[in-house]
Amino acid sequence: MDLSLDRINKVLISLNSPQNQFKVIHITGTNGKGSICSYLEKTLLNHNFKVGKFNSPHLIQVNECIRVNGNKISFNEYNLLKEEIEAEATKCEVKLTNFELLTTIGFLHFYKEKVDIAIVEVGMGGLNDATNVFADNLVSVVGSVGLDHEAWLGNSVKEIAIQKSGIFKPGGYCVVSHQKEQDVIQVLESQAQSIKCKLYSSAIAVSNDNESSTNISYTSKVLNREYNFNLSLQGDFQLQNAACSIDVLEVLIKHHSFDLNQSIIEKSLYQTHWPGRLQWIDLNPLKHVLIDGAHNADAAKELKRYIDKQKSSKVHYVYASTKGKNVEEILSILLDSSDQINFVPFDTPEDMPWISSCNPNELSQLGTLKCEKAKSFDNFNDAFEKISEIVKADELVVVCGSLYLVGQIFNFYNIDL
């Protein structure tokens, strides 16, 4: 994978730099950045801003990655912009990668739609990511930082944090979510200080109900306001994603004169939906299946914490993984000896030929080291059918390991995003 900004910058300049014609919130992080994007999007929409949002990867179809006011770009518009950009790239004697092309389509769409503000999620890392082409932004945001994509970003959280800090702007503002690793905060603070970027480090949000994401209190680091709210998104980690989002919104108020209402902010946090993350759903012939895209160690820890709260006697996992992930570490986090794990493949997602699934038969050898029963299947349908024959009322079915598997399941069952 060639991580360079030369190609996309040449094409964007040839297109008259559409990415510099709208205001931007730029978001990176190992985990949580998609949720933070969604909290911000919902809040700004509820304040009547015209909002663009760029997320990746898609769950079902590539046009999901580009939205204006919550609406996906049409395939007609997507293809028209794609043709325009590819023609421009040819003039520039440049061959864009698929992600660079997707990013450029998003920025050109936001420009043509005249969005008030665009919320842009980094694809991977930050410093050399194709989204890191803005002359300026309203605020840079860093979600939870941990180990993932080590082959490209580095083998320590310090190295990865340096990559994430690459989206900071000289003289700008950045908000950093609460971090588990102190090394991360130290690196980000040092990087921000070196370019005189004002950094706000989010405090800890607290729920007064340990069983659900309700009755949450948070005192912001920016304006020192106290917020009280509920969340519909599940998981303890969502408290910190919401807290980070509040601090981002307060940066907009304090430093960019946005008129945002505290009551609307609190209501918007509850109204936020983000599919494929700790989501309960019926998948015939199975009922009440927990789906989560957890695909790295930190995400697996949060998933396991949530599973343990369900107090089930046994877990039947349906698991797939992208090649290159530390599957053994993730399984050691998730599996108890009494659990059963069922390994399945996923299809290579649309417009992402570099993504491939691990072989389920090879994964099953790892599974037997961690729990009593590990099986492999040719597809998730066969796994669901087998589990439905043996699962008991007090047992739990969990799909995890890959957002690409989640997306394929959503597509098969026609689940609305």
What are 216-264's pLDDT values in tens digits?
999 998 999 999 999 999 998 999 999 999 999 999 999 999 999 999 9
Summarised one tens digit per residue, pLDDT across range 49-97 is 999 999 999 999 999 999 999 999 999 999 999 999 999 999 999 999 9
Tell me what pLDDT residue 388 has. Answer: 96
5-271 has which CATH code?
Answer: 3.40.1190.10
Domain with CATH 3.90.190.20 in the chain: 279-411
Tell me what pLDDT residue 371 has. Answer: 76
- Amino acid of residue 378: D
Tell me what pLDDT residue 324 has. Answer: 86
Total residues found in the chain within this entry: 417
Domain with CATH 3.40.1190.10 in the chain: 5-271
Q: Name the strand (E) or helix (H) holding 283.
A: strand 279-283
Query: Chain-wide mean pLDDT for the chain?
Result: 93
Handedness of CA 127, 78, 95, 21 (dihedral sign): negative
C-beta separation of 154 from 160 below 8 A: yes
Give the CA diameter of the chain: 62
Report residue 400's pLDDT band, with 50, 70 and 90 as the boundaries.
very high
3-state secondary structure of 208: coil
Asked if residue 353 has a cis previous peptide bond (ω within 30° of 0), the answer is no
Q: Which residues pair with 219 in a beta bridge?
A: 226
pLDDT over 60 (residue 152): no
Spatial distance between the Cα atoms of 321 and 260, rounded to a whole number of angstroms: 41
Residues 6+ apart with CB under 8 A from 169: 134, 136, 137, 140, 195, 197
3-state secondary structure of 7: helix
State how far Cα 338 lies from the chain centre: 31
Give all strands of the β-sheet with 139-142 in edge-to-edge order: 71-72, 66-68, 51-54, 117-121, 23-28, 139-142, 173-176, 198-201
Summarised one tens digit per residue, pLDDT across range 173-211 is 999 999 988 889 999 999 999 999 999 999 999 987 766
Higher-pLDDT residue of 254 and 151 is: 254
Spatial distance between the Cα atoms of 312 and 248, rounded to a whole number of angstroms: 37
- pTM tops 0.85: yes
Tell me what pLDDT residue 26 has. Answer: 98
Tell me what pLDDT residue 211 has. Answer: 64
C-beta separation of 264 from 275 below 8 A: no
Tell me what pLDDT residue 417 has. Answer: 79
- Homologous superfamily (CATH) of 279-411 is Mur ligase, C-terminal domain (3.90.190.20)
Higher-pLDDT residue of 221 and 377 is: 377
Q: Which residues pair with 120 in a beta bridge?
A: 26, 54
| Residue spans of beta strands (DSSP E) within 62-149 | 66-68, 71-72, 117-121, 139-142
C-beta separation of 291 from 303 below 8 A: no
Select from 206, 219, 223, 154 the least CA-distant residue to 184. Answer: 154
